[in-house]
Structure formats: structure tokens, C-alpha cells
Amino acid sequence: MGGLVYRASDKIVSLDYLLTRRGEWRRQGIALVLTNGCFDLLHPGHLHLLEGARSLGDVLVVGLNSDASVRGLKGEDRAFIPQEGRALLLAGFACVDHVVIFNESTAEALVRALQPDVYVKGGDYAPVGENAPPEAAVVTEHGGRVAILPTVPGYSTSALVRRIRER
């Protein structure tokens, strides 16, 4: 039997690791796609976003807000699932190549460091203007492009949390 042992946890990496790989990918002409979020309660809308993001390039890196970052953004009662568990779940998706945890409230520093070819966010954002993600300006500074993918109707973490709390 033997063979390669696959473990999702191997896909959870440091920014230093990604910076080394980024240089290799650039030399090989491999297009890097980056998306990010809290991914506090995974649902089909997340999978739709991740698969769509992966289709826009050769390597998909997911930036994951740390627990401290999620608390700052969503409140003291979040994250529901600790960052290690959220990272492992994301890494388990075949479309995700790497997951990196970051501590800031936005992924601007991560975008600046990795300089993705494509930066992806969900349909609650716009590629430019006042509803653009805060990372958009950083993406375009280095010649990357921002892609906004449509959300899946009926699936949102906020709506899911609201339904759970109401019950």
C-alpha cells in the first residue's frame, strides 16, 4: 500500500514559507491567488468562493484572521472555532493550496508581502470605490487585480449566527 500520506495540516504554513515559495512561483510563471477572511462557521458559500478563487490562478492561498483579529472585528464572543481548527478545515478543501494565519484586522500587510496576481473577495464588496475591500489599493499598487465573486444566496455567516442565536 504505502504511498504519499496527505495531511491537511501540512497546508497550514507561515508567511516566511510563503515568501520563499512566492519567489519560486514568480520565476515559474505561476499565478498566485489570495483571499482572506474569518471563516468562523464554514458553509457552502465559502466553498463556492474558494473554488471560484482557485479557478482564477495556479495556487490559492487563504489568509485566515487569527482569533484575536476575529474578536476585534466580530466581538468578544467570536471566533466560535479556534484558529487552528478553522485553518485545518480550510486546508482540508482540495481547492486550497495553503493557509496562513494573520493577526491584523485587514489583510493589507499580507497582500503587500505576497503581491498576489489576483486578490479575491465575495460579492458584498466592489472592485473599486467606497465598497472596495481595504486591500484593493495595495493589490493594484503592484499590478495585481481584484476579483469580486458573487455570493451564494441564502448563505452568510452573519445570517447563520443570527438564526442560531434566535433558536
pLDDT value of residue 5: 55
8-166: CATH, from 3.40.50.1820, 2.70.70.10, 3.40.50.720, 3.40.50.620:
3.40.50.620
pLDDT value of residue 3: 56
d(CA 119, CA 132) in angstroms, rounded, equals 12
d(CA 51, CA 93) in angstroms, rounded, equals 9
Domain boundaries, the chain: 8-166
Global pTM value: 0.92
Output the CA angle 90-80-37, nearest 5 degrees: 45
pLDDT value of residue 4: 57
Task: Name the residue type at position 76.
Answer: E
What grid cell was written down for 54? 482557485
Q: Contact 32/59 with Cβ under 8 angstroms?
A: yes
Contacts of 37 (CB under 8 A, 6+ apart): 46, 62, 63, 64, 65
What grid cell was written down for 72? 476585534
Run of H or E including 101: strand 98-102
Run of H or E including 94: none
DSSP state for residue 6 in the 8-state scheme: P
Q: Contact 55/91 with Cβ under 8 angstroms?
A: no
- Please provide the size of the chain in residues: 167
- Mean pLDDT per 10-residue run, the chain (167 residues)? 71 97 97 96 93 98 98 92 97 97 97 98 87 95 96 78 82
pLDDT value of residue 151: 86
pLDDT value of residue 161: 76
Any idea of the CA torsion for 102, 13, 53, 26, to the nearest 10 degrees? 110
Is the C-alpha dihedral spanning 110, 112, 118, 122 positive or negative?
positive
